[in-house]
Structure 1
Amino acid sequence: MGDDITDTETDPTEEAVGFRSGFACFVGRPNAGKSTLTNALVGDKIAITSSKPQTTRHAIRGLVHTPDAQLVLVDTPGLHRPRNTLGERLNDLVRATWTDVDTVAMCFPSDQKVGPGDKYLVKELAGLRRKPVLAVATKTDLVSPDRLAQHLMAIHAAGEEAGLRWQDIVPVSAVDGSQVELLRDLLIATLPQGSPLYPDGQLTDEPAETLVAEVIREAALEGVRDELPHSLAVVVDEIVPREDRPEGKPLTDVRVNVYVERDSQKGIIIGKQGVRLREIGATSRRQIEKILGVPVYLDLHVKVAKDWQRDPKQLRKLGF
């Protein structure tokens, strides 16, 4: 008989014992604080934020790591009454996302009353059988304790009215960090046991092109009129290292098109003598260099794609 051989390799299933991993998504009306909360939980900026409603247009994934868990947060666009084909597709994206995740957390901004739009969404979530649904009262730093208490009671009542039993109701402030860690722990507690889904330390699985496009759109949104944000789309043509650079001095060319729906909007983005476009470029280039880890030459162009929000062909071209 040959010598006994002992297998000393660790069984991967043993490593997963006690470890939790899975997906949770934030849903809510536009401007409910979902993206700001996602960034606070991840500990870095991976989702763009703006005071403009319907800023988020993609389901951005952020990764939260703890010693015994990995939480994948999916930040979704705000659910709203659609005015065009783009709006319908964003709503479809939200519903598809909450079907796929392990846990759903609905955000209710504390500085606004629980309204018909919230109640409509709560009623939809009540149809998610056997899936934990948390309520998150966001922006608690903006209201008094009395106002917050009323808000929490209104959230509870909205759940009862729809036949939805909240897993938890959690007041948080992403701005001052109040109860953000508690929310993280409550979300993790709902996840199934399993091995990590991503490498330790990774903050998002979004491709660089998506992050770059979002950074530029955020810079372009600042200070523009209310009707323009919906008409803005950003497409990254290419991200390529420039050849023949001196050793130790890399430079990456980033070529980007910013699309609007009308010539008048093009003028707003470019600004008088190109001042506005240069500001957008300077603001976003610093963040793009952080994302890519190298110096960047940013080549920005503004183009008109007439009524693209209503044109299925153009929507596909722009990535929707």
Structure 2
Amino acid sequence: MEKILNDTYYFFDLENDEFEISGQIPKQDDVYEFAMEFGIAIDEKIFDLLYELLKTYNFEQAKDKIAEFFKKRYGKNIELNYSEEGQNFKLTKNKLEIPILSKNSGNLGQITITGEFTLNEVLGLLAFYDSFVSVIEGFILGQRLELLLRSALNTLFIALNKRSRLSEEELSTMEKIAVELAKYENIDQEFCLIALRTANVGLIGVRDELFEKIRLGIYSNDEWNDYLRHVDHGYEILKELEVQKELIDVCLYHHEVIDGTGPKKLNPNEIPPLALIIGISESIVLLKWTEELLKNKYPENYVDIALNILRHEE
């Protein structure tokens, strides 16, 4: 059987379980009209996928949730891929090519799902296409914004470290210390490097002459406390950008130390491990703290790992 309804092409052969839907993406009313005309049931169980997607926080989680949904509800293994290019619309029993066409943002790319599907399931997916796209749109835009933010933070990180006169070798050493400690704590290494670039955004508000004194280690207690206010400047910047809480915490607490003398006077169990990791990396490379200064400020195993890397770099 074949039918064209409002520029959408429908072909189906229920006896052989073959179908194709292509052309214009149908509106919800058109999907129900087609189903009623030919007496085909729409599988509305698939509507529950929307509820599952609303419990996710990013596009990668959404992809996993979609695969998990088809496995649990239908006993099917599917593979989902996303491309920023393309806007094909073609649904068959083996492949679903679904463009992400947003009313607000235009063409956001295409999702391709491969597996085994029935016409009933595909009609169910089409019936809530607009809701599906609205959720996926948020994840895609969020992902793009995160990439843009990372690029901006990386640019700022480079600029701030030029100001501190750190060499490429010193920056590399700081990264190696942070990554090695992240491995030790089973923290994602890529996320650790992002945290390293994020932690000092507040330095943009530190006066040049104060920054120079801190770098050279010739400062008074008042000047040191003034310098430490950059963690609050950074917090205000990142809060407005709606950055992940873990990154904001690193910015706010990376000068906390386990003897409780940090700017926020946190106890050891209150300091996020990633903040300690970024803190010791900076203390060794930027602030030139010696082994004696590091003692009682950071966990002994952190100090041993960090100094071992420093020795190999010298």
TM-score (norm 2): 0.24
**Greater gyration radius:** 2
Which structure is richer in relative contact order (CA contacts within 8 A, separation 6 or more)?
Answer: 1
Query: Which has the larger share of strand?
Result: 1
TM-score (norm 1): 0.23
Query: Which has the larger share of helix?
Result: 2
